[in-house]
Amino acid sequence: MSSAVKNIKNDQQLLAEGLKGKDFLTLGALEPAEIHFLLEEAMALKNKQKQGIPQTDLQGKTLGMIFEKSSTRTRVSFEVGMLQLGGNAIFLSSKDIQLGRGETISDTAKVLSRYVDGIMIRTYAHESLEEFALHADVPVINGLTDLHHPAQVLADLLTILEKKGQLAGLKLCYVGDGNNNMAHSLLEGAAKVGMNVAVASPEGYEPNDKIFQQAQEFAKQQGSTVQFTHDPHEAIADADVVVTDVWASMGQEEEQAVRMEKLAPYQVNENLCKYAKADYIFLHCLPAHREEEVTGEIIDGKRSAVFDEAENRLHAQKALMKILMSV
């Protein structure tokens, strides 16, 4: 074995050891090398699964999954991922456990830590997730909060890497509501891996200021850029990747009419995408509202990679669970 190969293996082992037992709450908390390592692990696990090679990395392990927000992709991908890794997953609706009857977050975290080997939470307030992780003795994974959606963006980065063969130096454009969990995690994750990020949103829908400034710092360290504009044409110019999300997320249904009016000029359609590179790819975390934030001709068109992206939730999260919950 060459010294170069030995060094790579040693580096991977160190990264794995460093991540083992850690929480996964935001992409901003990870080092760029850790994100790349997780992506490489995801690709390796995906390749094994496609070849039918058995995976028993988490045999005998159990993941507890707490849901305060409903889900399709998050629940199925985490549950199937655990099964494919030889482990088990338990679905825990917040309405059915004592958390929904007034038990404190800290008590629930301490009790569940005695039963399971890892906990995934899909909830509203990011502060609740942080409090849970503070009191849990096992790895806690952010399945989604109102502020961040890092598991989804890890899958997005995996999809971009597969489609484009690289991350650093590419331009990612996010158009729509900039003050949502997808925009925030894309800002952090893409900046950490050296992508240039441009966000376009109307007034009143700008990204969280602290997260945006941190993303600019991350980008500066990687030699890339992060910018915000109210002009979607400026943001999408020469973009390699175009991303959007629903205009009204769970819990914002009462604002639907106002949001539709404010965000209408930010719809991703053929006219807007003419400003992107000819070989751009389109991503959307789903579920999508066709003819609202994106037209059918875009999401169902040849530049769309949304279903590859959805599949990659499974592979990216398997990598997360394998590394965080390993013995």
Cis peptide before 287 (omega within 30 of 0): yes
- 202, two tokens: 């109307």
249 is in an annotated binding site: yes
Check if 152 is active-site.
yes
CB 70 within 8 A of CB 144: no
CB 303 within 8 A of CB 269: no
Q: Do domains 9-149+313-325 and 151-308 have the same CATH topology?
A: yes
Q: What is the pLDDT of residue 254?
A: 74
CA distance 20 to 26: 16
150 is in an annotated binding site: yes
Q: What is the pLDDT of residue 12?
A: 86
DSSP conformation class of 98: G
DSSP conformation class of 122: E
DSSP conformation class of 304: B
> Sign of torsion, CA 32 168 300 264?
positive
Pick the CATH number of 9-149+313-325 from 3.40.50.720, 3.30.470.10, 3.40.50.1370, 3.40.50.300: 3.40.50.1370
Check if 285 is active-site.
yes
pTM equals 0.95
Domain boundaries, the chain: 9-149+313-325, 151-308
Catalytic residue (one of 148, 149, 184, 315)? 149
230 is in an annotated binding site: no
Alpha-helical runs (H) found in the chain: 3-19, 32-50, 73-84, 105-113, 126-135, 150-164, 181-192, 209-222, 232-236, 256-263, 270-273, 296-299, 306-324
pLDDT tens for the chain, 327 residues: list them: 555 445 556 788 899 999 999 999 999 999 999 999 999 999 999 999 999 999 999 999 999 999 999 899 999 999 999 999 999 999 998 888 887 678 999 999 999 999 999 999 999 999 999 999 999 999 999 999 999 999 999 999 999 999 999 999 999 999 999 999 999 999 999 999 999 999 999 999 999 999 999 999 999 999 999 999 999 999 999 999 999 999 987 666 778 889 999 999 999 999 999 999 999 999 999 999 999 999 999 999 999 999 999 999 999 999 999 999 986
CATH number assigned to the domain covering 151-308: 3.40.50.1370
Q: What is the pLDDT of residue 5?
A: 44
CA distance 14 to 10: 6
Check if 122 is active-site.
yes
CB 118 within 8 A of CB 63: yes
